[in-house]
Amino acid sequence: MDAKVTVQSKQEPDMPALCRSVAESSPMPMAAVEGADHIVRYVNSAFCLLTGKTREDLIGNGFSSAAPTGKEYLSLLDRVYQTGKAEIHTGEENRVSHRYYWSYIMWPVLAEDGRRVGIMIQVTETTPFLQQTTGMNQALLISSVHQHELTEEAERLN
């Protein structure tokens, strides 16, 4: 019985199944595209939630129809496809009522022989983080100005 357990623990995991399971359970929106036209071949549940579309709506179509914002990601996709190097980009979309910020992380998907067979994309809506950062920077600036005014007043009184 112990020998059987030892043999099973030494078996290599099924990496494609394991990777698919990791991507599917990720809370981060992820998609995989294929070819120069960036045809969507996989999306996880978080990506569907982000775009408000079903897998059936997304798979088989170009990523441009699935992307949540802007078009700056197209040149990024082209570069990753051509160079095989991962890239990160944060973009913004101006709407009448609100400004949205998105981070795109893209990396090549390689076959066992090293060929590039697609690109994995992770999209993150980063607006809340940027709003918090901007608010903190403004508060620090106001605090600094106020401290400077108090220092000048103290020096004047002395």
Question: What pLDDT does 26 receive?
Answer: 84
- List beta partners, residue 109: 118
Which whole-number Å values give the CA distances from 50 to 66, 67, 93, 104, in the listed order? 10, 9, 15, 13
Cα within 13 Å of Cα(89), Cβ side: 19
74-117 residue pLDDT tens? 888 888 988 889 988 876 554 444 444 667 889 998 877 888 88
DSSP character for 38? T
Percent of the chain scored above 90 by pLDDT? 7
Give the residue with greater pLDDT, 71 vs 95: 71
Residue 66 class from Cβ within 10 Å (0-12 exposed, 13-18 middle, 19+ buried)? Answer: buried
Tell me if the pTM is above 0.75.
Answer: no
